[in-house]
């Protein structure tokens, strides 16, 4: 209550609280609790959320559903039409091994698709304005009507100079290896690529699950293709090739799908095995950022110089917590991320990033 506790002000405050309630004595704390919103509801990126913010995906999920259909239909036909025959003629272990591979593939796919890939929070208006003033003072420039030239910082990582680029959308200096995804409209930590097949970005927090998905999918595809061919051969020895195809038309469909997909899946698995062994990302490899030879000037500062160590770090290291707290409640006095300004007048970054020293 303000000093003096005047009657008119008191009446005004109570009338505002009870505007949408039939009870004038309803607790303000209860109203705030009812009106509280979670952060995912006002998330600035182009993402879709499900299960009250627990599931996070990109908006374009059509190709992801195609991935699900291909895996489910092909595997379902295999278990329904091929496994009963193979379990009797060869060994019951075939459907067991196939089932283990199938559930592992689905688990890693959903884990990749439904998780935060490592989205970096955007700067708040106060953070953006504060850093903008610092940059203007450092550059000796004043706010003008034209977009300033690209602004960067430099840090030293294992003797290699790495530039930190400024994101005009998120208003932060991106940490090393981070990049802004144009489809999801987020800066993603250790950004690898945006994968429409999994319906999400692939970054620091879900890369290992993506790699395990494509690797296990390679084994599952080869497994199904090999035993479908085995099934057809065994039947053809009894009834002839054409009759074998007539008796099991589902096997033909499975063989066609597996034959045309196995090359790209196995090739992709091999490519990412190479990236993991050299501790690179797809984004860095496409841009040719680093050389695998330590003696060159643009050597990779993130590589540990050992294939085994690089693989252990990528696949067995701890998973960092999500930085966006998408299921947290929005507090009334919490500043929201600054709106994009096309880089003309606003410039910002998170305080923790502007003072951070990255060590490998």
Q: What is the pLDDT of residues 306-330, one digit of tens each?
A: 999 999 999 999 999 999 988 888 8
| pLDDT score, position 150 | 54
Q: Which two tokens stand for residue 319?
A: 């998973």
The backbone torsions φ and ψ at residue 153, rounded to the nearest 5 degrees and listed phi first, read -125, 160
- 119: β partners: 188
**Among 83, 167, 187, 195, the one annotated catalytic:** 195
| pLDDT score, position 16 | 39
Task: Give which of 111, 115, 132, 114 is closest to 123, Cα–Cα.
Answer: 132
Is this model's pTM higher than 0.85 or not? Answer: no
Whether the per-residue pLDDT at 352 is higher than 50: the answer is no
**How many percent of the chain have pLDDT more than 90?**
55
Distances (CA, A) of 258 to 176, 272, 291: 39, 20, 35
Task: Kindly state whether residue 97 falls inside one of the protein's structural domains.
Answer: yes
Q: Which two tokens stand for residue 225?
A: 């293709």
By the 10 Å C-beta count (0-12 exposed, 13-18 middle, 19+ buried), 46 is classed as middle
195 is catalytic: yes
Task: Give which of 127, 136, 129 is closest to 350, Cα–Cα.
Answer: 127
Task: Give which of 37, 18, 36 is closest to 26, Cα–Cα.
Answer: 18
Task: Kindly state whether residue 218 falls inside one of the protein's structural domains.
Answer: yes
Whether the per-residue pLDDT at 22 is higher than 50: the answer is no
**3-class DSSP state of 37:** coil
193-195/160-167 β-pairing: unpaired
Residue 272's domain spans which residues? 45-116+193-316
Whether the per-residue pLDDT at 74 is higher than 90: the answer is yes
Look at the chain and report how many structural domains it folds into: 1
Whether the per-residue pLDDT at 25 is higher than 60: the answer is no
The backbone torsions φ and ψ at residue 223, rounded to the nearest 5 degrees and listed phi first, read -60, -50
Residue bearing the bigger pLDDT, 8 or 112: 112
Task: Kindly state whether residue 206 falls inside one of the protein's structural domains.
Answer: yes
Burial 145-184 (b: 16+ CB within 10 A, else e): eeebeebeeebeeeebebebbbbbbbbbbbbbbbbbbeeb
- DSSP conformation class of 123: P
Q: Which of 18-22, 47-51, 149-153 reaches the highest mean pLDDT?
A: 47-51
CB count within 10 Å of CB 197 equals 19
Are the CB atoms for 324 and 44 separated by under 8 Å? no
Residues 213-261 pLDDT 10s: 999 999 999 999 999 999 999 989 888 888 888 888 899 999 999 999 9
Task: Kindly state whether residue 149 falls inside one of the protein's structural domains.
Answer: no
Q: Which two tokens stand for residue 232?
A: 């057809």
Residue bearing the bigger pLDDT, 122 or 345: 122
What's the Rg (C-alpha) of the chain? 28
């Amino acid at each position: 209550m303000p000093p003096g506790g005047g009657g008119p002000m008191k009446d005004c405050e109570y009338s505002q609280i009870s505007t949408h309630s039939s009870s004038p004595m309803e607790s303000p704390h209860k109203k705030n609790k009812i009106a509280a919103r979670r952060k995912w509801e006002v998330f600035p990126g182009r993402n879709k959320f499900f299960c009250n913010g627990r599931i996070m995906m990109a908006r374009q999920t059509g190709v992801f559903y195609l991935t699900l259909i291909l895996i489910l239909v092909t595997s379902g036909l295999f278990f329904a039409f091929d496994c009963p025959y193979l379990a009797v003629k060869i060994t019951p272990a075939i459907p067991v091994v196939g089932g283990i591979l199938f559930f592992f593939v689905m688990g890693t796919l959903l884990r990749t698709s439904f998780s935060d890939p490592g989205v970096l929070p955007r700067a708040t208006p106060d953070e953006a304005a504060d850093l903008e003033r610092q940059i203007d003072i450092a550059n000796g420039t004043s706010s003008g009507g034209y977009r300033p030239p690209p602004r960067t910082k430099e840090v030293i990582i294992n003797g290699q100079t790495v530039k930190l680029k400024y994101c005009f959308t998120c208003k932060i200096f991106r940490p090393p290896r981070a990049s802004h995804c144009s489809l999801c409209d987020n800066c993603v930590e250790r950004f690898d690529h945006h994968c429409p097949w999994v319906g999400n970005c692939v970054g620091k927090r879900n890369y290992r699950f993506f790699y395990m998905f494509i690797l296990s999918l390679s084994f599952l595809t080869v497994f199904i293709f090999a035993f479908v061919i085995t099934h057809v051969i065994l039947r053809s020895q009894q009834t002839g090739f054409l009759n074998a195809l007539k008796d099991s038309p589902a096997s033909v469909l499975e063989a066609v799908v597996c034959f045309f997909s196995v090359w790209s899946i196995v090739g992709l698995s091999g490519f990412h095995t190479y990236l993991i062994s050299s501790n690179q990302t797809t984004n860095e490899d496409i841009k040719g950022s680093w050389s695998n030879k330590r003696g060159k000037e643009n050597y990779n500062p993130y590589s540990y110089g050992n294939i085994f160590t690089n693989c252990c770090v990528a696949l067995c290291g701890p998973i960092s917590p999500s930085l966006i707290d998408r299921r947290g409640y929005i507090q009334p006095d919490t500043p929201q991320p600054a709106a994009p300004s096309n880089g003309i007048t606003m410039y910002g970054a998170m305080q923790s990033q502007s003072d951070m020293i990255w060590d490998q």
